[in-house]
A = this chain, B = another copy of it.
Amino acid sequence: MKSVKVGLLGLGTVGTGVVRIVEGHQEDLSSQVGSPIVIEKVAVKNIEKTRSIDIERSKLTEDPWEVICDPEIDVIVEVMGGVDQTKEYILEALNRGKHIVTANKDLMALYGAEIMDVAREKQCDIFYEASVAGGIPIIRTLIEGFSSDRIMKIMGIVNGTTNYILSKMSQEGASYDDVLAEAQELGYAEADPTSDVEGLDAARKMAILGSLGFRTNVDLQDVAVRGITTVSKEDILYAKRMGYEIKLLGIAERQDDEYSISVEPTMVKHSHPIAAVSGVFNAVYVYGEAVGETMFYGPGAGEMPTATSIVADLVAVIKNQKLGVNGLRAIGPYKPKKLKDDEQVAYKNYLLLQVADKAGVLSKITQVFAEYDVSLESVVQSPNASMSDVEIIIVTHNASKAAMNKVLSHFESLDVIRKVKSVYRVEG
């Protein structure tokens, strides 16, 4: 029986996991696809490096082109990361008729549409289950499980680092800086955590999920992004008192055929299933017009979970190959993209204001909301008040982003407001 030959680009954490699964589960895998799966060649940065797995030295190369140009290789598994150079590798591999399995969210968020067009043209598969939410098969679920439904809302905890930080801050009452330092020590956060804590990593994943859920092309710049660096101990404490957790949520919403996609720290009601997702775990909540509420939970990163998704994609590629249908199951045509503007995007808001402690303050503040047609769900004076100032917590009803921006800008010229301490979206 002819074996299927796989070329691996990258042998870091995830690449190592892929080798482990392909070798460890070989019998199961080959019984499913009908032939052995062989890791034929692996592009690495440094051949000399000591590795935790046994791999024949002759299979290693420091030149990715050697893998891509090898005519024996059927499928390229790309787990090296990077964008521009990697895109070049992948396009060349597709041009050579090789199928692609990738975990590269940056690449897919930036150039997914272009790469998938080439794949379709070359009748090659390109699968990327591992690019979002590690071991959770959410991409398959959106494409196949919910092919019959109209997805109205996707809310995702799709970045484990920030969820770890926020969970720890919530559980231990610790500060952002302290927890970040601890996360870096434990290897849950990188030395330069910008991409995670500023929400960029989550934004890339939401661009991918939004594209799939709405069957349109969501670009990275369509995602409104705000990170967690300004989330304070106090914010989390206040949120808890009111029955909320603060989570970095990616939210993709549809109304009729108009979309909005954002990533921001959000106050989520405790009763919502996503509020309980803690630590490095990921979860994606999907609301479909017909199916209603669903949620998919699991490890968002790590060697073996991510490798599970990659090898599942590999199995799918090989099954398609045996049936001669590679590149033919891709979804399309895509719908034209209509993004909502700030007048149309509406949600509940939480505001924490530090205001002067004098008569008539509340009336002045509520007047501003009224002026821009923002109605209020609750106004509460916080117990944490200093001598001359008091704190007020306001939760609005659904209000447009545009109206809220006007309210906030008006507040700047309102002398009774000393400081707008926090503003958060509210869900659940």
CB-CB < 8 A to A310: which residues of B?
148
CB-CB < 8 A to A315: which residues of B?
144, 147-148
B32 touches A135 (CB 8 A): no
Contact of A137 among B145, B273, B311, B333 (CB under 8 A): B145
Contact of A21 among B140, B290, B316 (CB under 8 A): B290
A283 CB, nearest partner CB in chain B, Å = 9
A329 touches B323 (CB 8 A): yes
Question: Chain copies in the assembly?
Answer: 2
A321 CB, nearest partner CB in chain B, Å = 12
Given contacts A141-B141, A276-B273, contact A295 B298 (CB under 8 A): yes
A275 CB, nearest partner CB in chain B, Å = 10
A307 touches B290 (CB 8 A): yes
Given contacts A273-B276, A291-B298, A305-B290, contact A329 B333 (CB under 8 A): no
Interface status of A411 (Cβ within 8 A of chain B): no
CB-CB < 8 A to A276: which residues of B?
273, 276
B298 touches A297 (CB 8 A): no
Who on chain B is nearest to A147 by CB?
A: B315
Within 8 A of B (CB), among A144-177: 144-150
Given contacts A31-B333, A315-B148, A333-B31, contact A304 B323 (CB under 8 A): no
A371 CB, nearest partner CB in chain B, Å = 41
Q: List 18 A-B contacts (CB under 8 A).
A: A20-B290, A32-B331, A135-B288, A140-B140, A140-B144, A140-B145, A147-B316, A148-B310, A148-B311, A148-B315, A276-B276, A290-B307, A291-B305, A292-B304, A293-B298, A294-B298, A295-B295, A323-B329
Q: Which residues does A use to contact B, with CB under 8 Å?
A: 17, 20-21, 25, 28-29, 31-32, 129, 135-137, 140-141, 144-150, 215, 273, 276, 281, 288, 290-299, 302, 304-305, 307-312, 314-316, 319, 323, 325, 328-329, 331, 333
The 5 closest A-B pairs by CB, nearest first: A137-B145, A148-B311, A294-B298, A135-B291, A291-B308
